Structure 1
Amino acid sequence: MKQAGGVEARDYLRSMLTDNREIILMGAEKDQYGRSVVEVFAMTDTPGLEVGVNGEMILAGMAHYYERYKRSCPENAHRYDFLEQEAISNKGGVWANGDLGLAQAEVGVITLSIAKIETVRTNSH
């Protein structure tokens, strides 16, 4: 990956999608490149309990919350904004070097798309 922080973000995502866990994808919006914008939930060993992958990635500073796609996650959009502020405060991931500003921060994030999630699931075993 050529993006700053891209390898770290990819590896963090892979660590969350281990053991061939079932994932749930929710959302139907498309980005400017035609990719599906989705919320990703990974099932846990506890029946009925899942981990919100998007939120975990944002909190770790490994993904950026794009407000323009909040229609794809109406129930969690406010949470993602809060988690990003926490990541900035905690200097997590791309925010480790302080306030990089939006333009620089976007360079170091990974885009969660169906194709990338499927690739991570397939290649992580």
Structure 2
Amino acid sequence: MKNISLSLILFCLGAAVSILEGIACPNFAKAQTVEPATVVSVGDGDTIRVMQQDRSITIRLACIDALETSQPWGKAATKRLQQLLPPGQPVQIRQIERDLYGRTVAEVFVGNSSSVNLQMVSEGVAVTYRKYLHNCAATKDRYLQAEAIALQRHLGLWSQANPEMPWNFRQAQRSGQPSTTTTPRPNARPSTAKPSKHDYDCKDFRTQQEAQAVLDADPSDPYGLDRDKDGKACESLPR
């Protein structure tokens, strides 16, 4: 009888632990799952549509925030994401959660696990969304470091003297009041001064795409990145 009782107690304890683990971490497995998908279209600098298992899904890129299309650099962010994720591009999706609009919040990877989300931040066409950075806990420091470097090198939106953050812009649009610009402060303390005409040079960029984003934002080419005037910046840089 004692052996039966002990077995029953152990069984019940095991069942209880299993239930508690399921309650405590209901989304852990889902959050870590990476699944294949195919890009259908790009909506803006941080939103795409993909096909996954014959279903069309709207993806909101996790942990980053691109400027709205009506803001300076907003259209450039959309164009850059279109270059990175053209229609038909195979991707890997790490789903995290659903947002208030029913979109799937996710990290998007191409090639050898290259994070598109992180690349957008590193090129200065999106910022780290600190409010939701916990969704990328394993790579949080990489996002913050990428943003600090982009700021220091005046890449993309950081070429502005005091860029308006997209969340402030949206809040101002909703309230009808002028926004209070709050520029995030990465771990590093790079200069935020607006670069002069000669501050940019092709050697300041790692890839041709980074330089192209600057040219696309201001086709008048004040920094002389398009020497032969063919619409392509710093063509000697790797793509």
Deviation at 1:39, TM superposition (A): 1.1
Superposed CA offset, 1:27-76 (max 9, x none): 32344545433211123xxxxx1321011100111111012212221211
Deviates more, 1:5-14 or 1:29-38: 29-38
Residue in 1 that maps onto 2:97? 29
Aligned match of 1:78 in 141, 164, 188? Answer: 141
- Distance (whole Å) between structure 1 residues aligned to residue 97 and residue 134 of structure 2: 8
Residue in 2 that maps onto 1:89? 152
Deviation at 1:91, TM superposition (A): 0.6
Q: Which has the higher strand share?
A: 2
Q: Which has the higher helix share?
A: 1
- Distance (whole Å) between structure 1 residues aligned to residue 130 and residue 91 of structure 2: 23
- Distance (whole Å) between structure 1 residues aligned to residue 120 and residue 107 of structure 2: 11
3-state SS of 1:4 partner: coil
Unpaired runs of 5+ residues, structure 1, are: 44-48, 108-125
Q: Which amino acid aligns with 2:143?
A: Y
Q: Percent identity?
A: 28
The structure whose Rg is larger is 2
Give the 3 Å change call, closer, same or farther, for CA 3–33 of structure 1 in structure 2: farther
Residue in 2 that maps onto 1:58? 121
Deviation at 1:90, TM superposition (A): 0.7
Deviation at 1:19, TM superposition (A): 6.7
- What TM-score do you get using the length of structure 1 for normalisation? 0.67
Unpaired runs of 5+ residues, structure 2, are: 1-68, 168-239
Count of aligned pairs: 99
Is residue 40 from structure 1 mapped to residue 108 from structure 2 by the alignment?
yes
- What TM-score do you get using the length of structure 2 for normalisation? 0.37
- Distance (whole Å) between structure 2 residues aligned to residue 96 and residue 30 of structure 1: 33
